[in-house]
Amino acid sequence: MKKNTKSWSAVIITGMGGSGSTLLFNIVREFIEATGVGVTTFLGTDQVKYRTPENPDTPRSGWIEMLKSHDICYALDTNNSKEELDNVYSNMYIINTRRDIRDCIASQVRRRNNLNVKNKKQIIELANSMIQNYNYAVKKQDIEWVYEEYKNSPYEYMVIFFENMFNISMNGIQKLDIKKIVDHCENIKNVDLPDDHITEQQTNHVNFRKTFMTKGHYTSNKGKVGTYHETLSSEILQLIEKEPLIYNWLKKHGYKT
């Protein structure tokens, strides 16, 4: 990870679907809020989802804006001139999330009713779109968050992550605060969350507006690393791993095939 050297007032969490981006979104949000700074959150390119109860529709001066969108860099790069892009990106801190794409696909299969694990064409298209979003974000990222490295040592990893993001050195008390935040975000209760994004959009569910969590985020896998074979058949895995774009991506990032 590299130390941050730029000034920013907005955070974008982007990258691969199923790579832990919602978990990271909440860890970063709670860390910023713990410093006493307010956060306004956005999902995708949609309207503001979460404001303060006192002023639910009014941005606050000095607050940090946080956007979670897997394809934001692709969308911006393909619809704006370089001059416009330089202006857009100038005040953003971009976090790109990465995970073994096979685990990402398995995660999406477990969560999405409209995704047929036996539909080879659909699975390959999903994998290619994930890599496309990741590769566009790589060009703009300020820091990369790797799911496997995080899961190996969550507290230590997030301390280093925040030290680089905010260009600070943390003391013991601050490190304990991060442990509390990580533990809380890893265990957000799923009892009072909407079933999916569509339900949220219809009901304006307050917990979703704050966390972007749904019951669909809780699957039988429980976020484990390298268990894609429990969801994906050997036939589908062979198909995925033989696809040139996917094979090269796995090899480049050190994932075994």
- The tens digit of pLDDT for each residue in 31-42 reads 999 988 888 777
Inform me whether the pLDDT recorded for 222 exceeds 60.
yes
Q: State mean pLDDT over 49-76.
A: 68
Give the confidence band of 223 by pLDDT, cuts at 50, 70, 90. confident
- pTM equals 0.87
Phi-psi region of 7 (alpha: psi -120 to 50; beta: other; left: phi over 0): beta
Domain ranges, ordered by start, for the chain: 10-252
Mean predicted lDDT score pLDDT of the chain: 82
Cβ atoms of residues 186 and 154 within 8 Å: yes
Cβ atoms of residues 165 and 141 within 8 Å: no
At 100 the pLDDT is 97
What is the Cα–Cα distance from 222 to 242, expressed in whole angstroms?
28
Question: What is the architecture, at CATH level 2, of domain 10-252?
Answer: 3-Layer(aba) Sandwich (3.40)
Inform me whether the pLDDT recorded for 25 exceeds 80.
yes
- Per the DSSP assignment, residues forming a β-bridge with 48 are 42
Residue type, 88: V
DSSP 63: P
Inform me whether the pLDDT recorded for 118 exceeds 90.
no
For 235, phi and psi rounded to 5 degrees? -65, -45
| Burial classification of residue 67, based on how many CB atoms lie within 10 Å of its CB (0-12 exposed, 13-18 middle, 19 or more buried) | buried
What is the Cα–Cα distance from 100 to 96, expressed in whole angstroms?
14
| Burial classification of residue 127, based on how many CB atoms lie within 10 Å of its CB (0-12 exposed, 13-18 middle, 19 or more buried) | buried
Inform me whether the pLDDT recorded for 55 exceeds 60.
no
At 50 the pLDDT is 41
What is the Cα–Cα distance from 218 to 25, expressed in whole angstroms?
16
Give the confidence band of 84 by pLDDT, cuts at 50, 70, 90. low
pLDDT tens across 148-203, in order? 999 999 999 999 999 999 988 888 878 889 999 999 998 876 656 666 665 545 44
**DSSP letter string, 105-129:** HHHHHHH-TT--TT-HHHHHHHHHH
Q: Picking from 46-55, 92-101, 114-123, 156-165, which range would have the lowest pLDDT averaged per residue?
A: 46-55
